[in-house]
Structure formats: C-alpha cells, structure tokens
A and B are shown apart, each in its own frame.
Chain A
Amino acid sequence: MRIAKMPNLRSTRSAFRYLLCVLCFSYSASAATPPDAPSVILIQNATVMTVSHGTIEHGSILIRDGKIAEVGQSIKAPAGAQVIDASGQFVIPGIIDCHSHIAAESINEGSVSVSSMVTMEEVLDPDDIDIYRDLAGGVTSANILHGSANSVGGQTLVIKLRWGQPASKLPFEGAMPGIKFALGENPKRSNFSIPGQPRRYPATRMGVEETIRGAFSEARDYKKAWDEYNKRIAAGEKNLIPPRRDLKLEPLVEVLEGKRYVHSHCYREDEILMLLRVAKEFGFKVRTFQHVLEGYKVADELAAAGVGASTFSDWWAYKVEAYDAIPYNAALMTRRGVIVSINSDSAEEATHLNQEAAKSMKYGGLSHDEALKMVTLNPAIQLGIDKRVGTIDVGKDADLAIYNHDPLSAYAVVQKALIDGRVYFDREKDIANRAEIEKEKKALTEKLKKAEKKPEEKKQEEKKPEEKPKTPAPTSTPTAAAASQGGVL
C-alpha cells in the first residue's frame, strides 16, 4: 500500500521515505534478465499442497511448456527434464495478491472524484524492485489497483510478477480488466487536507453515493446513445454521426455490460450495503469489496449478493473506520459463505501473505486448507483467473512457490518461485549473487567519487562522499503529492 500505510507509519522518517518513494523517485534499476524457460521441469520429493485435492506427501509435479502436466506421488523424470529436488520442502500454488500497488509509477489521480479514464496499465513499471521482493515472498500474480482518493477510481490490471520482463509482458493474459471504486474516509478526504485548498466533493458518505450514482447515470445515457447509434448502423442507415467518445464513461459502460470488474475499497457496513444498492439500481455487479473490514457485520448480505471479500489479516485502529476491524473478519465471512481472500495493499505485507493467511486459523478456527485458499484459489476466483492459476492441477499454469517449512508458519522461507514454469526467484542463487552485486556497487561508487573530485565540479556543488547517487526527482506539487498520498488503504 506504500502511501496507504500513512496513518500507521512507524516514524516520520518512514513516512517521508514512503512519500519519496511513491511520489518522487523513479529509480532506473538495472534491468534483470528473465530466467530460462526449460521445456520440461520435474519437482520431486516435495509435500505438494494442491489446494484443490489435498496434500501429497513425497509428491512430484511435472511441468511441460509452462503448464502443469502431471501431479502425483511418483513421476519419472522424462529425458532432458530439469529436476528440482524439493526434499523436505513444501510446494503451494503461487500466491495471488488481490490488492497491490507495486510495479506502478503512480497510484492516485486524486484531483477528481471520478477518475475512470486513467489506467494502471499505462504506468506499469517493470523495474520496480518490489516486484522482485514480493516474488521472493511467493507472490506470482497481483491485482494492481488505482488508489482510493476517489469514489470512482482508475482502471486496474492483473499482472504476473515476471521480473526481468518488459512492461508489455507483465499483464496476466486474458484476465478481466477491473476498476477501483472507493467508499468512506478516503474518497471523502477525511484524513487528508491541503492547506489553502477548498474541500473537494464529496465530503460525506452521502456524497460518495451520489458521485457513483451520477457517474452511472451518465454512463447509462452514454451507453444508450451508442446502442441507438449501433442499432441504426446495423439497420443500414448511412452518414450517421457517432456519439462523441467519452473515455471517462467507457469503462463504466463496460461495468454495466459485465465486461469489467468492480473492486471497491470500503470499511464500514453501511457503505458496503450502499454500493450493493447502487449496483442493483444500475444493474451491475460488484466483483470484490476490498479491505471490507466490517464485512463480518454484513456477511449474509455479501454472500447473498455473491460478492467476494478481500481483506487484511489483523490491521486495525489506524483510522476511525478501522476501529471495529477484527482479525476474525476473514473467518466470519467465510463461515457465512463469502469467498474471502487476504491481500497486502503493501509491497511489504505481500512478502508474507502466507503468514497473514495463517492467522485465520488462530482467529476463527479455519482449517489449514481454508487458510491457504485465502491467498491462492480464492483471490484467483475473485479475479476470474481460477481456470489458469490458484491450485496445483493438471493444465494450469506452473505458477508455484516452494517453502522450506509449512507455508502457514512464521518460520517458512520461500526457496523458489516459478511463473509459467520458469524459476523467477531462487533463494540460493540470490544469495550467491550478492557478492557480485556488492562489487558492482562499490565500483560504481568509486567511479562517482572520482567524478565528483574533479575540481570544476567541486566548486559548483559539494557533496558528501557517502551519499548514494539518486536519480533527481521531479519537483512534486503539493496537489500531486497530497493526491498521491490519498492513500490506498
């Protein structure tokens, strides 16, 4: 959540750093190279937690051309197969984070209350180091969301964490596009004000509802105009002038047509029911409620509406609408028939989503399998990608995470992460490469020091020798900063 974590930041220093990271710096990372794609891989001797059909002790997974070809107890390695011996290790489906803000150059277009014209796809940053860090936490797919500064936010995108690939290779092929909505304190800007600037509409939960209703009213009219036009064209009419294209309303029409998922940020029970009413009024579906920390209070209503819930494990009290947040939320909603996932909203939290899922066993007594589903199959269902990922089954993408312990333990460490049958993260290799990276860094620092010692430059500007080179950042305006800071959480 980067920016989003503002309210419960540990120190101003980290607050500062968050803001800097998010708002200002665009590091140009030395692009990593993607791993090889061996055509056949056999993972053997592992405890295979399939999620769909139980756990296989001393199990094997055969991967062919990026897909799972066979799962079972004893599979013989085909000739030429690359063999991964996972003795004593645990394999689960790659973790899917239903709420992430990694790999994005910016998060919030916060100047307007309906920002459906903007899209995360256009700001994808394949060099964001957080892709790698989350991959090292076993995450293989993530839903990249716009921020929560506006009632109707920007367009979202599901990606695979293919570290080293260009931006064009990150999107999850064929995944349904989405759009972010936001309810409550963030869109009404309760905790964010900019000195000297008037408040933006809406400033209440009443106004949030009207903002969304207003947007869908327009979208409905817009759709009607196009439907009419297309009908007349189909009837053979000539020389018609098409309606003027509206980039803001187009994605909302897609929502009305069931071609785009709504992922709505929310906290309180009343606002959850509000959006369900609005959805009913305009005839669209809410795909997931995000955060939904009071979802447990209206779990029956969520289940009846067939809406997914994607929540935090144990966050609470960072703002008023999170004061009734309880760690039992996931379990309570699950027991009433809601499909629940645990998400991160933060590059850091994503590195241990397995642990966060485990907490639903402690708080509310979910089973090991139910807990594991919260970060694998359930988010896959919520994002409409469960035919491709989320369980270890023949025919699915070989997106896997391998741990040295039961992944639902605080002692488990990811050893490897595979996407499409390629090993994108390998802990052993990472450790082996560190000396090399350190050497390269030293050489670069030396080079920089030498460059700085040139007398003519020294006169111009003195720099402390220890200071690390950082890409100069564009000056951020207060509005942009505050808008971005608008938070996602």
Chain B
Amino acid sequence: MSKACHLRRLFSIVCLLNFLYFLYAPVTDAQAQPPSVYAITHAKIFTLAGSPIEDGTLVIRDGKIAAVGASVEVPAGAQVLDAKGLQVYPGLFDAITQMGLSEIGAVSATVDTTETGNYNPDVVAATAISPSSEHIPVTRASGITEVLAVPGSGGFDSGGGRGTLGGQASAIHLAGWTVDEMLIKKTAAMVLNFPEIQTQTFDFSTFSRKEKPYTEAKQEYDRQINELTDWMDRARHYAQAMEKSSVSKYDRDLKLEALAPVVRGELPVLVFADHARDIRNAVEFCDKQKLKMVLAGGEEAYKVRDLLRSKDVPVILRPMLSLPEDEDDPYDRELSQPAELAAAGVKFAIASFDNSFARRLGQNAANAVAYGLPYDQALRAVTINPAQIFGLGSQIGTLEQGKIANVIVTNGDPLELTTDVKYLFIRGQLTSTENKHHRLYEKYLNRPKAQ
C-alpha cells in the first residue's frame, strides 16, 4: 500500500473518531462537569478590600465571586466547604516568572524564554507556555493562582542575551487544560530590557570578561537608544497609518503592529533596569516617548524613589532574599528596600523572577515585613498591586463580588513558611494542590524497608 493511501486511511479514521466524539460529547461533558457553585463558610476572610471578616462566607458561582460577607446566605445546591479555623485570601500573583516557558534551566530544549535578536516585540509568551509544565502545579500548591509569564527576562540558557524588546508577557491562571483556558490576558505587557552603559561585559562565547572605556560604552548606549527611539518613531507612524486606513492599503509589519499599543500608551512596558542611573534613563525615555512604564528589577529603586513617585512608575521588585550590589551597602539593603519604597509612596509588587523559586514569593514578602514593611502592604504586593499594575485590578487581586474566583483557603498567614494551602480555587474551580513533589513523597514514604 502506498504512503498516500496509508495517510488517507488514517485521515478517515481520525474523521470517524471526531464524529464519534461530537456524537457523545454532550454526555461525557455532563459527566465531567464539576460543580459551579461553592460556598466557603465559617472562615476568616481577608478580602483585601476592607477589614477582615470573622466567620464569613464566600460564594463562588460560575467562576466568579458571587458574594462575600458575614451574613451571606449559602445558595441552594452549593457545594459547601466548612472552613472553620481556616483563613481565606485572594490567590497570590507572581508578577514575573518564566512559567511554562522554561522547565529545566540547564537544558536548552526545555527553555523558550528568549528569542534570538534584539527586537522581538511581536513574540508572545502565551504561544510557548506548556500547560503540562510540572512547575505549574508545584507553584500553585504554595497559593500562587496567577502569574505573568515573561519572555526576554533572561535565564542562564539565554546565553547572556535577552534582547532589547523581548516580547509580550502573558498573564495566566495556574490551571487549565489549554493555554486558552489559562489566559487572563494574552498581552499584558511589552518587555523592554533597557540598554545599560556597560563598561564591563561578559562574552559567553569565549567565557571571558571584557573591559570597555566609558566613552566607548556610552557611544554603544547612545547607539542603542537611537535604535530604540527609531523603533518607537516608526511604530508611531505605523499606528497612525493603522488608524487612517485598512490593512490592505499599507505593507503590514508585524513588529510595528505589536508596538502600536505601546506607543499609544495603552500597553504597559515592563522595563528591566536595576541601577539608579539606568532607572533614571529609562524613566526619562518612557516619559519622552509617552510610554506606560512599569519598572522591573529595581534593585536601586530606593535611590530614585522620589522620581518614581512623581512619575507614577510602579515597580516589580526582585526577591528581597538577595545580597546587596555593593560591598559597602548595608547588609540588609535589599530586605529593607520595600519598606522605604512604601514610605515614599511608590507602588510596587514583589515577584520571584523565576520558576523553581516562585514558591518563595510569600517568604520574600514576609522578609520585607521583618525589615519594616507594614504587613497589609506586603500582602497587597503579591495580590492586588500586581493586578492593578497590569490593568487587571477589576478582575482579580481581591475578594470582591464579580471578580474572578482565584481564592486560597489556608491554615494561617499565607506568607509564613509553615502555612499550608488547604484549598485552592482557580477560575472558580476547586483545583488540586497535588503535584510531582507530593507524588514522589508518597511513593518513597511507602518504599518498603531496604534489605
């Protein structure tokens, strides 16, 4: 039998299977459909939109929070979850991760974080997110219900390059059979790795360090800024063309098209910069270009806090659990920064910038509290603040009627090391906290004693 014949036969079998599926789909769907109404009762509820509710009830219907309060009726037919002695919070939001884009850092075949080349505004994280990543259930077990998957945000495997315009970050729920089900917002931000004046660089191809005189480094920086400015100018012209005529009238350019919402000031630009000088340069650039800037990294944000406050630039902070940049910095420089930013009125979120350490999100926020950040602000820095920063504040981040039901039920403070997440709802569905780590634990817990 010829190959073509084989294929034809295979095709007809597939068609038949498809037909059978559609024939029986309604029946199986009805069987697999989970309950759509839940009531969490007798819990202490931290809505983050008002004071905590003692002995409260939270009703979830069709994926949304239907009601929350002290005297809320349990609807008929609701699946009731008695949470006496437990606490209810909005699920945590990790604002910078490579979730689904990177599985094992050292194995390039499993890493899709960073495209080659400097200008990739058209690539979208959601395209490469693997819903089967083991990181997803491991991460949500620690109470994180949604993340931003950020391309162009580095990783060792990227060979040292991150590009300048790294691509579009996607906001996703940490549950779903497909990426489409997981999506909160396919394009939540544009990644911009802001050019630095680098007098010291590292060449990954030869594994050696290179020194550059300042003037040369500055020239290289200016060249990059000119290039970036040129991209913005072209995008602006392109956006005007888009408004004035239909696509058939001009040559379509996917990269400029992707930048149109950026230059219109609609799409937040996630600007990676850490040193005070780079942050100042970035703020000036975004101001001039009228971009909606969100600072990412911000290790020295405290040095420019007044500028950030006056320009209303929010910050996604790296983990506090990191050492100071300079030897003569106070040893707790990174730990005390959130408290200083809060006091100065800078809006910020705390993020892991990672996958395997995403579950340290709460630990990082708690450490910020240990070094002076008010507790409620720490909680907001991992829930409502990131939601608001990416324009999702009306959908998630607090427990309010009408919001997407991303909810965690815990036996204590969700930022503390020893707290367990007892129940977790994502999009209103009771979602398992079971994961690869539990499975291996159970397996080896039950290993018979070795002979």
Contact = CB atoms under 8 A, between A and B. Distances in A.
A320 B107 contact: yes
Interface stretch (B45-53, B263-271, B439-447): B439-447
Contacts of A6: 156
B255 interface: no
B156 to A, nearest CB: 5
A274 interface: no
Given A11-B153, A348-B322, A481-B207, A408 B104 contact: no
A320 B107 CA distance: 7
B209 A473 contact: yes
A319 B107 contact: yes
Contacts of A323: 104
A408 B418 contact: yes
B353 A24 contact: no
Chain B interface SS verdict (over half): loop
A8 interface: yes
Interface in A104-138: 129-130, 132-133, 136
A10 B214 contact: no
Contacts of A11: 153-155, 162, 272, 297, 353
Interface string A173-200: 0000000000001000011001100000
Given A10-B353, A317-B104, A430 B330 contact: yes
Interface string A433-469: 0100100010000000000000000000111101110
A316 B209 contact: no
Nearest to A371: B418
Contacts of B366: 410-411
Contact of B206 (A8, A195, A358, A359): A195
Most buried by A among B138, B200, B201, B418: B418
A338 to B, nearest CB: 12
A355 B213 CA distance: 43
Nearest to B363: A410
B218 A304 contact: no
Interface stretch (A91-99, A141-149, A224-232, A325-333): A325-333
A318 B367 contact: no
Nearest to A297: B444
A478 B207 contact: yes
A168 interface: no
A10 B354 contact: yes
A9 B441 contact: no
B357 interface: yes
Contacts of A327: 437
B394 to A, nearest CB: 30
Interface residues of B, number: 75
A13 B445 CA distance: 41
B105 A409 contact: no
Given A194-B207, A320-B107, A362 B156 contact: no
A361 interface: yes
B210 to A, nearest CB: 10
Contacts of B415: 410
Interface string A337-369: 000000000011001100100110111100000
A300 B450 contact: yes
Contact of B441 (A20, A328, A361): A328
Contacts of A462: 213-215
B71 interface: no
Interface string B101-140: 0011111000000000000000000000000001100100
A66 B416 CA distance: 35
A301 B444 contact: no
Contact of A441 (B328, B371, B445): B328
B393 to A, nearest CB: 26
B199 interface: yes
A324 interface: yes
B160 A12 contact: yes
A82 B206 CA distance: 57
Most buried by B among A11, A359, A411: A11
A69 interface: no
Contacts of A351: 321, 323, 331
10 contacts: A7-B106, A10-B318, A11-B297, A12-B161, A12-B162, A133-B323, A304-B450, A320-B104, A462-B213, A464-B197
Chain A to chain B: the 3 pairs with minimum beta-carbon distance, closest first: A300-B450, A410-B366, A319-B106
Given A9-B154, A16-B200, A361-B418, 9 more contacts: A12-B154, A20-B200, A316-B138, A316-B356, A318-B356, A362-B420, A363-B437, A413-B370, A430-B331
